[in-house]
Structure 1
Amino acid sequence: MTDFRPQIEQQVTFLHAQDLVETAAFYETILGLALVLDQGSCCIYRSGGDAYLGFCQTLGQHMDAPPATNHIMLTLVTPDVDGWHEFLVGQGVAIEKPPTLNETFNIYHCFVRDPNGYLIEIQTFLDPAWPKPVQNPEIGD
Protein backbone atom coordinates (compact mmCIF):
# COMPACT_ATOMS: atom_id res chain seq x y z
CA MET A 1 0.00 0.00 0.00
CA THR A 2 1.24 3.47 -0.84
CA ASP A 3 0.64 6.91 0.62
CA PHE A 4 1.06 8.54 -2.79
CA ARG A 5 -2.10 10.35 -3.87
CA PRO A 6 -2.18 11.07 -7.63
CA GLN A 7 -3.01 14.59 -8.72
CA ILE A 8 -6.50 15.53 -9.88
CA GLU A 9 -6.00 17.98 -12.75
CA GLN A 10 -9.52 18.75 -13.96
CA GLN A 11 -13.14 18.46 -12.89
CA VAL A 12 -16.10 17.58 -15.13
CA THR A 13 -19.72 17.41 -14.01
CA PHE A 14 -21.93 15.42 -16.39
CA LEU A 15 -25.69 16.00 -16.49
CA HIS A 16 -28.45 14.48 -18.58
CA ALA A 17 -29.86 16.63 -21.39
CA GLN A 18 -33.44 16.15 -22.59
CA ASP A 19 -32.70 18.11 -25.78
CA LEU A 20 -29.03 18.60 -26.62
CA VAL A 21 -29.70 21.29 -29.25
CA GLU A 22 -31.77 23.39 -26.84
CA THR A 23 -29.21 22.80 -24.08
CA ALA A 24 -26.37 23.88 -26.39
CA ALA A 25 -28.22 27.06 -27.34
CA PHE A 26 -28.65 27.98 -23.67
CA TYR A 27 -25.11 27.24 -22.50
CA GLU A 28 -23.32 28.53 -25.61
CA THR A 29 -25.47 31.46 -26.72
CA ILE A 30 -26.96 32.71 -23.46
CA LEU A 31 -24.32 31.80 -20.85
CA GLY A 32 -21.41 32.09 -23.31
CA LEU A 33 -19.63 28.91 -22.26
CA ALA A 34 -17.06 27.60 -24.72
CA LEU A 35 -17.75 24.19 -26.26
CA VAL A 36 -14.51 22.24 -25.84
CA LEU A 37 -15.62 18.82 -27.07
CA ASP A 38 -18.61 17.65 -29.09
CA GLN A 39 -18.97 13.87 -28.87
CA GLY A 40 -22.25 13.68 -30.74
CA SER A 41 -24.52 12.64 -27.88
CA CYS A 42 -22.43 14.60 -25.31
CA CYS A 43 -21.23 18.21 -25.37
CA ILE A 44 -18.62 19.41 -22.89
CA TYR A 45 -18.22 23.09 -21.98
CA ARG A 46 -15.54 24.95 -20.03
CA SER A 47 -17.22 26.63 -17.08
CA GLY A 48 -14.01 28.25 -15.83
CA GLY A 49 -10.36 27.35 -15.29
CA ASP A 50 -10.11 23.58 -15.41
CA ALA A 51 -13.78 22.97 -14.55
CA TYR A 52 -16.17 21.61 -17.17
CA LEU A 53 -19.87 20.84 -17.65
CA GLY A 54 -20.91 17.96 -19.85
CA PHE A 55 -24.45 17.40 -21.11
CA CYS A 56 -25.36 14.02 -22.56
CA GLN A 57 -28.44 12.48 -24.12
CA THR A 58 -28.03 9.07 -22.53
CA LEU A 59 -31.53 7.61 -22.26
CA GLY A 60 -31.42 4.06 -23.54
CA GLN A 61 -27.62 3.97 -23.30
CA HIS A 62 -26.85 4.23 -19.59
CA MET A 63 -30.21 4.89 -17.93
CA ASP A 64 -33.82 3.82 -18.28
CA ALA A 65 -35.53 7.06 -17.26
CA PRO A 66 -34.49 10.70 -17.08
CA PRO A 67 -33.02 11.68 -13.72
CA ALA A 68 -34.90 14.03 -11.41
CA THR A 69 -33.70 17.61 -11.82
CA ASN A 70 -35.06 18.90 -8.52
CA HIS A 71 -32.04 17.72 -6.51
CA ILE A 72 -29.36 19.32 -8.68
CA MET A 73 -28.15 22.91 -8.53
CA LEU A 74 -25.35 24.32 -10.65
CA THR A 75 -23.67 27.39 -9.17
CA LEU A 76 -21.77 29.82 -11.38
CA VAL A 77 -19.64 32.28 -9.40
CA THR A 78 -19.27 35.85 -10.67
CA PRO A 79 -18.51 39.26 -9.18
CA ASP A 80 -21.49 40.73 -11.12
CA VAL A 81 -24.75 39.01 -10.13
CA ASP A 82 -26.80 42.10 -11.02
CA GLY A 83 -25.19 42.30 -14.46
CA TRP A 84 -25.98 38.64 -15.13
CA HIS A 85 -29.55 39.11 -13.90
CA GLU A 86 -30.07 42.06 -16.25
CA PHE A 87 -28.50 40.15 -19.16
CA LEU A 88 -30.58 37.00 -18.57
CA VAL A 89 -33.81 39.02 -18.33
CA GLY A 90 -32.86 40.68 -21.63
CA GLN A 91 -32.38 37.24 -23.19
CA GLY A 92 -35.88 36.22 -22.12
CA VAL A 93 -34.72 33.76 -19.47
CA ALA A 94 -37.33 33.29 -16.73
CA ILE A 95 -35.96 34.31 -13.34
CA GLU A 96 -36.74 31.89 -10.50
CA LYS A 97 -35.51 34.32 -7.83
CA PRO A 98 -34.15 37.85 -8.37
CA PRO A 99 -30.82 38.96 -6.87
CA THR A 100 -31.00 38.62 -3.11
CA LEU A 101 -28.61 38.88 -0.17
CA ASN A 102 -28.42 35.61 1.77
CA GLU A 103 -27.08 36.64 5.17
CA THR A 104 -26.86 33.05 6.43
CA PHE A 105 -24.17 32.13 3.88
CA ASN A 106 -22.92 35.69 3.21
CA ILE A 107 -23.62 35.45 -0.52
CA TYR A 108 -25.52 37.51 -3.09
CA HIS A 109 -27.33 35.41 -5.69
CA CYS A 110 -30.18 34.86 -8.13
CA PHE A 111 -31.68 31.73 -9.69
CA VAL A 112 -32.79 30.62 -13.17
CA ARG A 113 -33.50 27.21 -14.74
CA ASP A 114 -31.87 25.77 -17.82
CA PRO A 115 -33.89 24.04 -20.59
CA ASN A 116 -33.55 20.70 -18.75
CA GLY A 117 -35.04 22.07 -15.52
CA TYR A 118 -31.73 22.26 -13.62
CA LEU A 119 -31.58 25.10 -11.12
CA ILE A 120 -28.75 27.52 -11.87
CA GLU A 121 -27.52 29.84 -9.16
CA ILE A 122 -25.60 32.95 -10.23
CA GLN A 123 -23.66 33.87 -7.09
CA THR A 124 -20.95 35.98 -5.55
CA PHE A 125 -19.29 35.15 -2.25
CA LEU A 126 -19.16 38.17 0.08
CA ASP A 127 -16.87 36.42 2.57
CA PRO A 128 -13.29 37.63 1.97
CA ALA A 129 -12.08 34.14 2.93
CA TRP A 130 -13.45 32.73 -0.36
CA PRO A 131 -10.49 32.08 -2.70
CA LYS A 132 -10.03 34.26 -5.75
CA PRO A 133 -10.17 32.51 -9.16
CA VAL A 134 -6.97 30.96 -10.43
CA GLN A 135 -5.80 32.76 -13.55
CA ASN A 136 -4.98 30.44 -16.45
CA PRO A 137 -3.21 32.29 -19.30
CA GLU A 138 -3.93 29.41 -21.72
CA ILE A 139 -7.66 30.11 -21.75
CA GLY A 140 -7.74 33.84 -21.12
CA ASP A 141 -9.54 33.72 -17.76
Structure 2
Amino acid sequence: MTRPKRANQLAITFFYYRDLPAAMRFYEEVLGLKLAIDQGWCKIYEICPGAHVGLVDETRGMNKWAATKPVQLCIRVPDVDAWYAYAKAIPLENLSELFANEEIGIRAFVFNDPEGYQIEIQSATRPGA
Protein backbone atom coordinates (compact mmCIF):
# COMPACT_ATOMS: atom_id res chain seq x y z
CA MET A 1 0.00 0.00 0.00
CA THR A 2 1.35 3.43 -0.86
CA ARG A 3 0.68 6.67 0.99
CA PRO A 4 -1.76 9.05 -0.75
CA LYS A 5 0.23 11.60 -2.79
CA ARG A 6 -2.23 14.52 -2.84
CA ALA A 7 -1.26 17.56 -0.80
CA ASN A 8 -2.76 18.04 2.66
CA GLN A 9 -5.40 20.78 2.86
CA LEU A 10 -5.36 22.06 6.42
CA ALA A 11 -3.61 21.49 9.77
CA ILE A 12 -5.38 22.20 13.09
CA THR A 13 -4.06 21.76 16.63
CA PHE A 14 -6.89 21.49 19.20
CA PHE A 15 -6.74 22.83 22.76
CA TYR A 16 -9.44 22.04 25.33
CA TYR A 17 -11.02 24.65 27.63
CA ARG A 18 -13.38 24.82 30.58
CA ASP A 19 -14.27 28.43 29.65
CA LEU A 20 -14.52 28.59 25.86
CA PRO A 21 -15.68 32.25 25.69
CA ALA A 22 -12.64 33.39 27.70
CA ALA A 23 -10.34 31.39 25.40
CA MET A 24 -12.02 32.90 22.34
CA ARG A 25 -11.52 36.43 23.70
CA PHE A 26 -7.81 35.70 24.27
CA TYR A 27 -7.21 34.30 20.77
CA GLU A 28 -9.22 37.07 19.10
CA GLU A 29 -8.29 40.09 21.20
CA VAL A 30 -4.81 39.30 22.54
CA LEU A 31 -3.42 37.27 19.64
CA GLY A 32 -5.54 38.89 16.93
CA LEU A 33 -6.48 35.61 15.24
CA LYS A 34 -9.41 35.45 12.82
CA LEU A 35 -12.19 32.91 13.32
CA ALA A 36 -11.96 30.69 10.24
CA ILE A 37 -14.53 27.97 11.03
CA ASP A 38 -17.36 28.16 13.56
CA GLN A 39 -18.67 24.71 14.51
CA GLY A 40 -20.57 25.93 17.56
CA TRP A 41 -18.73 24.31 20.45
CA CYS A 42 -15.48 24.31 18.46
CA LYS A 43 -13.93 27.55 17.17
CA ILE A 44 -11.07 27.26 14.69
CA TYR A 45 -8.72 30.20 14.23
CA GLU A 46 -6.26 30.71 11.40
CA ILE A 47 -2.68 31.15 12.61
CA CYS A 48 -1.31 31.53 9.07
CA PRO A 49 -2.30 30.03 5.71
CA GLY A 50 -2.81 26.31 6.28
CA ALA A 51 -2.06 26.39 10.04
CA HIS A 52 -4.84 26.70 12.60
CA VAL A 53 -5.64 26.29 16.29
CA GLY A 54 -8.99 24.90 17.39
CA LEU A 55 -10.54 25.90 20.73
CA VAL A 56 -12.89 23.20 22.00
CA ASP A 57 -15.47 23.22 24.80
CA GLU A 58 -14.04 20.38 26.92
CA THR A 59 -17.55 19.07 27.69
CA ARG A 60 -18.11 18.28 23.99
CA GLY A 61 -14.70 17.37 22.53
CA MET A 62 -12.90 14.03 22.16
CA ASN A 63 -10.55 14.95 25.03
CA LYS A 64 -11.08 16.81 28.31
CA TRP A 65 -9.33 19.67 30.07
CA ALA A 66 -6.41 18.61 32.27
CA ALA A 67 -3.67 20.39 34.21
CA THR A 68 -1.22 18.67 31.91
CA LYS A 69 -2.63 19.84 28.60
CA PRO A 70 -3.83 17.26 26.10
CA VAL A 71 -2.92 18.06 22.50
CA GLN A 72 -4.36 16.70 19.29
CA LEU A 73 -2.87 17.44 15.89
CA CYS A 74 -5.54 17.36 13.21
CA ILE A 75 -4.72 17.17 9.52
CA ARG A 76 -7.46 17.74 6.94
CA VAL A 77 -6.97 15.77 3.74
CA PRO A 78 -8.93 15.59 0.48
CA ASP A 79 -9.59 11.82 0.79
CA VAL A 80 -9.92 10.41 4.32
CA ASP A 81 -10.78 6.96 2.91
CA ALA A 82 -7.44 6.71 1.10
CA TRP A 83 -5.60 7.76 4.25
CA TYR A 84 -7.57 5.27 6.35
CA ALA A 85 -6.71 2.44 3.96
CA TYR A 86 -3.05 3.47 4.23
CA ALA A 87 -3.22 3.69 8.05
CA LYS A 88 -4.76 0.21 8.31
CA ALA A 89 -1.93 -1.21 6.17
CA ILE A 90 0.84 0.01 8.49
CA PRO A 91 1.23 -0.41 12.27
CA LEU A 92 -0.27 2.60 14.06
CA GLU A 93 -0.87 2.65 17.81
CA ASN A 94 -4.52 3.02 18.88
CA LEU A 95 -5.90 3.30 15.34
CA SER A 96 -9.64 4.01 15.59
CA GLU A 97 -12.41 3.01 13.27
CA LEU A 98 -13.32 5.53 10.61
CA PHE A 99 -16.19 7.60 12.01
CA ALA A 100 -18.52 10.39 10.95
CA ASN A 101 -19.66 13.36 13.03
CA GLU A 102 -22.61 14.81 11.15
CA GLU A 103 -23.05 17.67 13.65
CA ILE A 104 -19.74 19.25 12.69
CA GLY A 105 -19.56 17.77 9.18
CA ILE A 106 -16.51 15.49 9.23
CA ARG A 107 -15.39 11.92 8.60
CA ALA A 108 -12.21 11.01 10.46
CA PHE A 109 -10.01 8.55 12.31
CA VAL A 110 -7.40 8.93 15.03
CA PHE A 111 -4.21 7.21 16.14
CA ASN A 112 -1.28 7.93 18.45
CA ASP A 113 2.22 9.01 17.49
CA PRO A 114 5.22 7.25 19.10
CA GLU A 115 5.04 9.45 22.22
CA GLY A 116 1.26 9.10 22.63
CA TYR A 117 0.07 12.38 21.11
CA GLN A 118 -3.19 11.92 19.24
CA ILE A 119 -3.30 12.58 15.50
CA GLU A 120 -6.59 12.98 13.67
CA ILE A 121 -6.94 12.66 9.90
CA GLN A 122 -10.21 14.07 8.59
CA SER A 123 -12.19 15.19 5.56
CA ALA A 124 -15.13 17.58 5.53
CA THR A 125 -18.50 16.09 4.53
CA ARG A 126 -20.09 19.41 3.62
CA PRO A 127 -18.92 22.86 2.51
CA GLY A 128 -17.89 25.13 5.37
CA ALA A 129 -17.45 22.31 7.90
Larger radius of gyration: 1
TM score, norm. by length of structure 1: 0.43
Q: Normalising to structure 2: TM-score of the pair?
A: 0.46
Question: Relative contact order, CA 8 A, sep 6+: which one is greater?
Answer: 2
